[in-house]
Structure 1
Amino acid sequence: MLTEHFIASIGVPEKPPGTNVAKDAAIFLHEFQPLAQQRAIFKKSATPANCLAVSESHIFAAQSDKAVVHVYNRLKGNQEATVPFTERVTCIALACDDTVLVLGTAEGRIFLWETHSGRQVTTVQSHLQKVTALAVDASSNFLLSASADSTVQVWSLPGLLSFANVGAQGLSPLRTFASHRTEVTAVTVGHSVSFSNFAVSAARDRTCLLWDFHTNTVLRTYLLSSLPLCITLDAADRAVYLGCDDGSVQQLDLYRQGHSTSAVQGGEKASVPIQPAASSRWRQPDALKGAALSVSLSFDSSTLLTGHQSGSVVAWDVATGRAQTNLMQNPLPGPVTNLCFLPVTGFAYQETKRVKVTSVMKPKFGAFDSAAGTVPGNYAINVELTGSDLGAEETLWQQALTAPSFPQALLDEGLGELASWSLAPERHVSAAAPDETEDFMALDGDSNKRKEPTLEEQNAALRAQIEALRRLQTASFDRIDKINAERKALIQREHARLMRGGEAQPNGVDGNSYDESDDGD
């Protein structure tokens, strides 16, 4: 049975929790379907917006106005560690198959913490103000960091984690997106792993920009009627959903009919601002729920969840744009600052990560730095290798589905097939066009069929085989006769030599007497 869960976290509680909520409960694991009920809780946390990251085995929660990250073990259901940092953490995100935790700080820096080794990498202060949001692309090659200074930095994750780029030169961003005019509140990237992926960012000037983070090219500019606070993309990258300060949800259809070109493709009218239609804005019937601080989409993108300032979690029907119902009978004891749907479980073929971090290693800044740019000798990782098909090679078709381009082996196979066509036997030229050569592959079925031999042809082939065997037999017998003649001549010469030697001996007959019957004839 397929099961889908989501995790909700709250910030600083505005009121004492009721009797229906456990004491100090701060992070809630709920089952969304098939049964809507609470499954687990984690205590002692006050998580601001964009400060929650969930892996298969752990939950990372940065604390409000503190330089501390709480680590919870999902398997054991308790708090595993409290990790301090040198600067106040304002946002976090997971990358590299959930083995690297990326942290944005209030000083405008980026921390990268390898949870499986304890290695910590710190960038220079690239942002003038605090980092407000982080986003990692599906391939974990690029990192986007949004800031209150109205810029979005694009980083190379492999470059940040490389031992060869320990200096400040290797820890600088690739490019800076500076098309916003005020604080960037949220940023996200598309699900593609190709080199034409895009990003969506929203700012306090009530604008939402769709842009290519590989080239810093603005594809679309949307003018909103409310202040956007959070953002998410559907699984097919066809629509953007923004949670606003008035509790409403703004839907942006990237392939809306009526535009000369789609939003993703850009075009001549890409710089012309677009104001979404009033029908694309979903309003909450109860305005007392407060601002929509967090938003998340289900696996099939048919249900949208929004977390509000009042502690309510509202489910929206994406097809109709209407609020269905409150998922919980009673609101949570604080503002719902983070919502996150977890991967669906229960598939017959459940895709699992090849490595799993069972226990996190606390960060050790500068412990693994190497001036030579090589992996230091004290560098070690602590992971669990998972998967029943560990070591099994993927097929070329599976590689083509997940790779940003066609695998080289698949291209070589296709080129080899094309080369084999040129080595095919030459076809007979039709009598109607004797001077023309046939440079195409025939599609008729009869021309490719092999002609069956007749009975006379089969008999002729058998007679030729028998004649070849007879010639081989005759040649073999001739060779045997020749070898026997040479053997007989050698024996006679040896016998003559022995007889001449025996003339000096009376009655001289040695033990090597020759018998005519031994010549083998």
Structure 2
Amino acid sequence: MLSEEFVSAICGAPLSSNTAIAKDVGIYCHTLSPTYSVKSTFKKSSVPVNCLAISESHVFTAQHEKAYVHVYSRLRGNQEAFVAFPERIRCLTLVGDVLVMGTMEGRLMLWETCTGRLVSTPARHVQAVSCVAATPYHVLTGSDDSDIHVWSLPQLLELDSAAEHEPQRSLSNHRAAIVGLSVSSSVSSDTNFCVSASKDKSCIIWNYQTGDALRTLLFPSFPLCLSLDPSSRAVCVSCEDGSLYLTEAFAEKPLLGPGSEEATTVVQVSSPFGATLPDVGPASCLSLSYDGTMLLTGHPKGQIMRWDIAENKSPVELANLNAAVTNIGFVSPFPMDKPTKTVNIIKPSQAERAYTFAAQFDSYSGSETRFDSLLNAAGFPREAMENAIAAFSQPVAEPASNQVLQKQNEELWDIINEQRALQKQTLQRFAETKSNQ
């Protein structure tokens, strides 16, 4: 059975003097299935909302009200680095080997963890960058100033670029601070969208590549966080009143796609999927499993709740971390198709101009090819030498395609020669007629 893992982070002091829970642990690595357990923990971290990023080899966390990022090695199970930045980090996300960070000054920073290269943009947001989402081609930043900027990731990472970095477009339909942002990784025109949540009690589904607002979802109270289904089929939203809403994009009356022409632009969402108890509090973070059947929510009283979306049963408390749970993220069950693996991160440096890539090549697990056998042999193998000598001694046979081209070329020359002869006869007759006159 395929195991499911997720990582959670807390922020703030312990809520009670429970000695069964370690006081200095800030990050928990959990195994959800086949049976729930805490796999490992990392110490000395206080992580605000939207400040957790997970890769195959590392965990990155920004620290509450500080200009620090802690880096933990999942391979070795310890804290690998303590990285200081010139500004306080408000949010972060990971795309490939690039850590994308939003600052309190409205700036965007990109740190290439394999090279140590640090790219910083001007402060294009008037207020702090509250959330950030990324695809392999775009970076989206939401801010307390109610605007969303769409950036081109290749342009941001361009080497020797003298021009100042500018967003490709701005999405400005919201009227209050942006609290959540999630983007689809699909390449289909029907599902290539992003969803933003704001304190104006709305979520907007955008075509971020054109800047069009496709649908506006209105809620009874303002959202605290959101999560997009991994297959981009639905969006789950947690609101301040403790309600959880699950809105399907491709239901019987779809909000997106070819069958959505009759849907109105503004949709009132009033029927919650579930509601948390008062002693638990509203969910401050949530995450959907990769199969879309399970929802995990983190709460300010320390609980992590599991919701069964498929059967809509009552929620089950998985754990109580004795501190406000601010981040939950599932670990991808899909292996990364990359030729290299990051073993040790390179700390960022703006002063260093050299571009050095440090990574470890992954072993190739495929079947041995002819090139592999030649590479691993001592000298030239006898069989390879005999085949090479035989290839030189045999006459080279012309490919069938060359014979066809040669035949076509001969036919064209025949036509050209006929035209030349006809032209010559025409000129001779013209000259004879002119001389007779």
Q: Same fold by TM-score, threshold 0.5 exceeded?
A: yes
> Shift of residue 263 of structure 1?
2.8
Alignment of 1:74-93 (within 5 A): 74-93=74-93
1:281 maps onto 2:268 in alignment: no
Shift of 1:64: 0.2
In the alignment, residue 336 of structure 1 is paired with which amino acid?
Answer: V
Q: 1:203 aligns with which of 188, 194, 198?
A: 198
Alpha-carbon deviations, 1:218-268, whole Å to 9, x = none? 1111111122111111122111001222332111111232x4x63345966
User: Which residue in 1 is equivalent to 2:186?
Assistant: 192
Match for residue 381 of structure 1 among 357, 367, 372: 357
Equivalent residues of 1:120, 1:366 under 8 A apart: no
Please give the secondary structure, in 1, of the residue aligned with 2:266: coil
Q: Which runs of 5+ in 1 are unaligned?
A: 369-377, 394-521
Q: Counterpart of 1:281 in structure 2: which amino acid?
A: F
- Name the residue aligned to 2:302: 311
Q: Give the deviation of 1:191 after TM superposition.
A: 2.5
C-alpha RMSD of the superposition: 2.3
- Structure 1 contact 219–267 (Cα < 8 Å) conserved: no
In structure 1, the residue matched to 2:255 is 262
Residue 365 of structure 1 aligns to a residue whose secondary structure is: coil
Q: What is the CA distance between 1:270 and its match in structure 2?
A: 6.1
Equivalence for 1:213: 208
Residue identity opposite 1:30 in structure 2: H
Letter paired with 1:81 = A
1:214, 1:326 → 2: CA distance?
40
- Residues 411-459 of structure 1 deviation map (CA, whole Å, 9 limit, x = unaligned): xxxxxxxxxxxxxxxxxxxxxxxxxxxxxxxxxxxxxxxxxxxxxxxxx
Match of 1:167 in 2: 163
2:176 to 169, 182, 194: 182
Partner SS for 1:158:
helix
Larger radius of gyration: 1
- How much identity, in percent, do the aligned residues show? 39
The TM-score with structure 1 as length reference comes to 0.68
Q: TM-score, normalised by structure 2?
A: 0.80
Q: For the residues of structure 2 that align with 1:145 and 1:103, how far apart are their CA atoms? A: 9
Counterpart residue type for residue 155 of structure 2: G
- The 1-side partners of 2:117 and 2:188 are apart by 29
Q: Distance in 1 between matches of 2:351 and 2:142?
A: 26
SS at match of 2:155: helix
Q: Equivalent residue for 2:341?
A: 356
Deviation at 1:354, TM superposition (A): 2.3
**Structure 1: how far apart are the matches of 2:248 and 2:77?**
40
Report the residue type matching 2:235 in the other structure.
Answer: V
In structure 2, relative to structure 1, the CA distance for the partners of 1:366 and 1:158 (3 Å cut) is: farther
2:140–2:150 Cα contact (<8 Å) kept: yes
Query: Which residues of structure 2 form unaligned runs of 5+?
Result: 370-437
Which residue of the partner structure matches residue 141 of structure 2?
145
Aligned residues: 370
Letter in 2 for 1:10: I
Instruction: Give the secondary structure class of the aligned counterpart of 2:279.
Output: helix
CA distance in 2: counterparts of 1:251 and 1:353, whole angstroms: 34
The 1:117/1:249 distance shift into structure 2, 3 A limit, reads same
1:42 is matched with: 42
Q: For 1:159, what is the secondary structure of its paired residue?
A: helix
1:325 partnered with 2:320: no
Between 314-323 and 304-313, the greater mean CA deviation after superposition: 314-323
Counterpart position of 1:154? 150
Quote the residue 1:250 is aligned against: 245
Contact kept? 1:219, 1:270, Cα under 8 Å? no
Taking a change above 3 Å as real, the CA distance of residues 177 and 17 of structure 1, as seen in their structure-2 partners, is farther
Specify whether residues 118 and 72 from structure 1 end up closer, same or farther in structure 2 by C-alpha distance, changes over 3 A only.
same
Paired residues for 1:47-58 under 5 Å: 47-58=47-58
Secondary structure class of the residue paired with 1:333: coil
Query: What is the correspondence of 1:283-298 to structure 2 with a 5 Å cutoff?
Result: 283-284=275-276, 286-298=277-289
- Partner in structure 1 of residue 350 of structure 2: 365
The one-letter amino acid paired with 1:276 is: V
Q: What amino acid does structure 1 have at the position aligned with 2:239?
A: C
Could you tell me which residue of structure 2 aligns to residue 463 of structure 1?
none
**How far apart are 1:353 and its partner, in Å?**
2.9
Corresponding position of 1:130: 128
1:67-106 deviation per Cα after TM superposition (whole angstroms, max 9, x unaligned): 00011111111111110001000000001x2x11011000
1:62 aligned residue: 62
CA distance in structure 1 between the aligned counterparts of 2:15 and 2:275, rounded to whole angstroms: 26
Letter in 1 for 2:324: P
